[in-house]
């Protein structure tokens, strides 16, 4: 199965450098234009299905793609960005990301979702794909940067965290015998 991971379009909070997590911020003007551009790129991918995070920034991006390629969108909370609890709406520059990823007890108190919990959500999503008809061989997943990195880490444990720009597309091959 081919999976194209696509990060949602830009939001005002992205532009301000704030941590969004589960904050439900809509696309800004640039984000809507980015969604239209990525939708046109998707015309060439021969997509069978679109799955999307249920957060509005991903939903709006998915709807732009669905409108162009005439494929319905299936929404799921399993594809949401990692929850950053009390760190949401703070500047990305005010936190120590290596400490957050280490998942120390202080971050549990702040309500930060661990990478292990995020990984469990993504595995649950992948397993849910087996309930769909076999003809779903080429899917698009509209999601968030943290989720995209965790997907890449599932496929390649040596994957190094990278920045996925808004509406970046990353292609994966998923073997159902995961």
Active site positions, annotated: 8, 81
Nearest by Cα to 65 from 79, 48, 82, 81: 48
Say what angle helices 29-42 and 56-69 make with each other, to 10 degrees: 40
Half-sphere exposure of 74 (CA within 13 A, CB side): 13
- Order the strands of the 169-173 sheet from edge to edge: 73-76, 49-53, 138-143, 2-7, 169-173
Nearest by Cα to 119 from 88, 152, 143: 152
**Helix, strand or coil, per DSSP, at residue 113:** coil
């Amino acid at each position: 199965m081919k999976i194209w991971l696509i990060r949602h379009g830009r939001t005002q909070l992205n532009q301000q450098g704030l941590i969004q997590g589960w904050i439900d911020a809509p696309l800004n003007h640039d984000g809507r234009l980015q969604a239209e551009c990525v939708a046109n790129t998707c015309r060439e991918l021969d997509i069978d299905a679109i799955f999307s995070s249920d957060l509005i920034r991903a939903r709006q991006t998915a709807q732009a793609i669905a409108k162009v390629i005439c494929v319905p969108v299936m929404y799921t909370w399993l594809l949401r960005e990692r929850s950053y609890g009390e760190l949401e709406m703070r500047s990305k520059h005010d936190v120590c990301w290596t400490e957050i990823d280490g998942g120390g007890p202080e971050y549990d108190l702040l309500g930060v979702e661990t990478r292990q919990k995020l990984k469990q959500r993504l595995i649950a999503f992948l397993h849910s794909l087996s309930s769909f008809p076999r003809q779903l061989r080429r899917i698009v997943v509209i999601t968030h940067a943290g989720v995209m990195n965790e997907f890449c880490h599932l496929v390649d444990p040596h994957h190094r965290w990278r920045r996925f720009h808004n509406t970046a597309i990353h292609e994966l091959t998923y073997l159902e015998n995961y």
